[in-house]
């Protein structure tokens, strides 16, 4: 009798163990099914959202103009950019980041979209290309201005190029969940 009760206990333990494995396998299967159901859709806070984000990429509504300035004077360049969500603005000079300083005052009014660059006391080292970049999740726009000392010819723009501005719009592709 003792032997049969030992076998019964062993069988019960095996059954419990088997049931746990089956439950674990069922959970794993359910998780896989959930992953398959949401493939190709954006999942956010437990909700399934289809489609693309709303808003607009940045666009320069008012562009900067190339100019010549007398040495020692100040140069001001003003533009206006739109986009939804509001773009983040950055500046470069000859391809390197341009930081705000006493020499270079960079302004961006988020409410109006007005963007400006003030260069104080223009000197021989200030010539070159200055580029303002506006970026948001939907794209980016760039507007460049070229400062040339007085008496030197402005650089020639290639035919068909949009005068004083280079605008690049990129649409962000939705990445599919895999």
Q: What percent of the chain has pLDDT above 90?
A: 40
Tell me how far apart the alpha carbons of residues 80 and 78 are, in angstroms, rounded to a whole number: 7
Give the single-character DSSP code of 106.
E
Model confidence at 24: pLDDT above 50: no
Average pLDDT for the chain? 70
Contact 70, 150 (CB under 8 A): yes
Q: What is the pTM of this model?
A: 0.58
For residue 92, what pLDDT band results from cuts at 50, 70 and 90? very high
Q: Count CB atoms within 10 A of the CB of residue 85.
A: 13
Residues in the chain: 178
Model confidence at 55: pLDDT above 80: yes
Residue-wise pLDDT for 68-77, tens only, equals 778 888 999 9
Q: Which residue has the higher pLDDT, 107 or 11?
A: 107
Put the strands of the sheet holding 114-119 in their side by side order: 56-62, 75-84, 114-119, 104-109
Q: How would you label 102-134 residue by residue, b for 16+ Cβ within 10 Å and e otherwise?
A: eebebebeeeebebbbebbebeeebeeebbbbb
């Amino acid at each position: 009798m003792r032997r049969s009760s030992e076998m019964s206990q062993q069988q019960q333990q095996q059954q419990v163990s088997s049931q746990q494995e089956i439950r674990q396998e069922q959970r794993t299967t359910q998780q896989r099914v959930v992953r398959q159901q949401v493939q190709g859709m954006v999942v956010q806070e437990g909700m399934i959202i289809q489609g693309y984000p709303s808003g607009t990429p940045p666009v320069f509504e008012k562009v900067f103009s190339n100019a010549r300035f007398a040495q020692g004077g100040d140069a001001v360049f003003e533009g206006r950019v739109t986009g939804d969500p509001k773009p983040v603005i950055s500046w470069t000079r000859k391809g390197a980041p341009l930081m705000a300083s006493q020499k270079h005052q960079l302004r961006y009014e988020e409410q109006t979209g007005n963007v400006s660059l003030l260069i104080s006391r223009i000197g021989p080292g200030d010539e070159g290309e200055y580029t303002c970049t506006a970026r948001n999740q939907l794209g980016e726009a760039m507007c460049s201005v070229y400062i040339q000392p007085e008496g030197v010819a402005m650089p020639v723009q290639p035919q068909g190029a949009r005068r004083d501005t280079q605008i690049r719009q990129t649409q962000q592709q939705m990445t599919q969940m895999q």
